[in-house]
Structure formats: structure tokens, C-alpha cells
């Protein structure tokens, strides 16, 4: 095994012992998820985007349904925004759906309806960061890539930095690269993901000791929840509703949940953000998805 360019952590298990442990535990804890062991890069991308900040159990079933409705990048690119966001409802972070659609529009226009195959080209698409791009390369093409997300981070922190705080990703990245095998990176990362999920459930989230860890804000009562409710209101109105009525319905939603109504300035700010991001257009006070 090629050692990383920086020193392997001094008091940690050897690289060989670490790889053996992860391989053994990964085999024991393997999750047979429907988006695994496939070579459809688009289907893998959809799974990676859905799994960003969303639990596996919430994605199960939704991934299959989304692909049945939008089976190819061209199909997603040509779909209406309201159809795409409507299908995404319940997964949270609706902006991911719009970014995925925009990425597919570029693939349809510039790449013949296929996803590009390199990390750098994938990262150039809307909504695709380094981990998502690396996931597509490793899982769809079974090629080595530096895939560092929360479960992978958890394993490296738990096993190699058990007593240290504020570990930066730049310390982990060469270790991730060094341990990723050339012959079957897909299975290696599945092992890391499954062992990492087990560690989080058993010992707590070691990735909180990452210098990059940010606690997710509370959803209930948040601006994010209000945004999501406005999107749901517009979609439920079959894509066209006055902003005045949407504001009234949002106020009803808030009061039903024991909160005050939303003041005019906050609602106007939320509506303007959603329009700018492409969730709907507003003409003469009517929001249309």
C-alpha cells in the first residue's frame, strides 16, 4: 500500500490494520441498497444528491420513483420545474432538485445527454461538489476518487484520531487517497459508509470533531420550513396562486403550529428568494411554477 505524502498518524493502527478492519466491518455491516453496484452514472448522481443531509430510510423508495418518472438526464432536463420539485417534496432542501435539473440541462446540451466522467467536469455542474463528483466516479465507474463525506469522515476520525479535536479535511484527504484501492474503490467506499453509519449509531457522530462540522439548524419554525411550505402551497395550487393568498395560507400553517403569522417583509423576502432561485415566476402578483 502506498503511504500518504503526509505522515500516517503516529499512534493510530497501521494502514494495513486500518484497511483490514474497515474491510472486515464493512462486509459484516453491508447494506444492500438499490443504488449500489450499478454503472448508471445518472442514477448514482440522483442517489448521491438525495442522500445529502437526508437519511437513507427517507431516500429508499423515493430514488426508484424519481428514476421511474425521470429515467435519464434528458428526461429530467425536459421536465417542468413544478414536476421536478413536486416529485422531490418530502426529501427536504428543494434547491437540490433545481440544481440537479440544471445539471441535466447542461448534460443534455453539452454532453449528448450523458454525465461527464471526470471529477473536475462533474464539479463544474450546478450543485455537484467534490464529494458528489467523487461518488459518481467511484460508484458508477469504479475508479479511484477522493470521496470524503460524513460517514467516511467518521471512520477516519474514530479510528485514526480518537482523542483529537478540530481535525481538518486537509489532514484526512491524503489518508483517504492512500487507502482507496485502484482495483475496487466502489466496494471500499461501501465498507467505509456502512462502518461509518454503524459507528455513528453506536458511539455518536465522531465527525463532530471535524473542524468543518456545523450543527444542522432546527427545521421546525425556521425560515427553511417556511420556504418549503410556500413551495408546497404553490404546487398544491396547480402551479398558480396569488402571493396574497399564498401569504395567507402560510400564516394559517404557522398558526396551526402554534406560531405567529409571517410579517409582510419576511414573506416578501422568502418569495423573492424562491423566484430568484427558479421555483416560480411572479407576474402581476401571481406566482406560477
Give tens-digit pLDDT for 47-65. 999 999 899 999 999 999 9
d(CA 196, CA 186): 15
What is the rounded distance in angstroms from the CA atom of residue 98 to the CA atom of residue 125? Answer: 12
pLDDT, tens only, 11-24: 899 999 999 999 99
Share of the chain above pLDDT 70, in %: 98
Mean pLDDT across 116-144: 98
Give the residue-averaged pLDDT of 33-46: 98
* pLDDT at residue 6, rounded to an integer: 53
- CA–CA separation, 133 and 72 (whole Å): 18
pTM of the model: 0.87
pLDDT value, residue 205: 78
Q: Is the pLDDT of residue 125 over 90?
A: yes
What is the Cα gyration radius of the chain?
21
* Residue pLDDT, tens place only, 159-193: 999 988 889 999 999 999 999 999 999 999 999 99
**What pLDDT score was predicted for residue 60?**
97
Residue 188 is predicted with a pLDDT of 98
Mean residue pLDDT of the chain comes to 93
Of 32-36, 62-66, 76-80, 236-240, the one with minimum mean pLDDT is 236-240
Q: Is 220 a catalytic residue?
A: no
pLDDT tens column, 84-113:
999 999 999 999 999 999 999 999 999 999
Q: What is the dihedral of CA 91, 92, 93, 99, to 10 degrees?
A: 20
Q: What is the pLDDT of residue 122?
A: 98
What is the structure's pLDDT at 285? 95
Mean pLDDT of the 222-237 span: 93
3-state helix, strand, coil in the chain (%, to 5): 60, 5, 40
Q: Which three cell numbers stand for residue 242?
A: 396569488
Which member of 2, 25, 48, 149 is catalytic? 48
Amino acid at each position: 500500500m502506498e503511504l500518504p505524502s503526509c505522515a500516517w498518524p503516529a499512534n493510530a493502527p497501521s494502514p494495513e490494520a486500518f484497511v483490514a478492519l474497515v474491510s472486515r466491518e464493512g462486509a459484516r455491516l453491508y447494506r444492500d441498497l438499490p443504488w449500489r453496484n450499478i454503472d448508471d452514472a445518472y442514477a448514482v448522481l440522483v442517489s448521491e444528491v438525495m442522500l445529502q443531509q437526508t437519511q437513507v430510510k427517507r431516500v429508499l423508495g423515493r430514488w426508484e420513483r424519481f428514476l421511474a418518472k425521470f429515467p435519464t438526464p434528458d428526461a429530467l432536463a425536459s421536465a417542468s420545474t413544478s414536476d421536478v420539485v413536486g416529485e422531490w417534496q418530502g426529501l427536504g432542501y428543494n434547491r437540490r432538485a433545481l440544481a440537479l435539473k440544471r445539471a441535466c440541462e447542461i448534460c443534455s446540451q453539452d454532453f449528448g445527454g450523458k454525465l461527464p466522467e471526470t471529477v473536475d467536469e462533474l464539479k463544474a455542474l450546478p450543485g455537484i461538489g467534490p464529494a458528489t463528483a467523487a461518488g459518481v466516479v467511484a460508484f458508477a465507474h469504479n475508479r479511484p476518487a477522493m470521496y470524503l463525506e460524513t460517514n467516511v469522515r467518521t471512520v477516519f476520525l474514530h479510528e485514526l484520531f480518537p482523542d483529537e479535536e478540530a481535525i481538518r479535511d486537509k489532514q484526512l484527504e491524503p489518508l483517504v487517497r492512500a487507502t482507496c484501492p485502484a482495483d475496487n474503490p466502489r466496494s471500499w467506499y461501501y465498507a467505509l459508509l456502512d462502518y461509518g453509519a454503524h459507528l455513528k449509531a453506536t458511539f455518536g457522530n465522531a465527525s463532530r470533531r471535524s473542524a468543518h462540522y456545523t450543527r444542522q439548524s432546527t427545521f421546525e419554525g425556521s425560515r427553511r420550513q417556511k420556504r418549503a411550505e410556500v413551495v408546497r402551497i404553490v404546487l398544491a395550487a396547480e402551479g398558480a396562486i396569488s402571493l396574497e393568498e399564498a401569504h395567507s395560507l402560510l400564516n394559517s400553517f404557522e398558526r396551526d403550529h402554534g406560531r405567529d403569522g409571517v410579517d409582510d417583509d419576511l414573506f416578501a423576502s422568502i418569495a423573492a428568494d424562491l423566484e430568484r432561485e427558479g421555483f416560480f415566476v411572479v407576474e402581476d402578483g401571481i406566482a406560477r411554477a
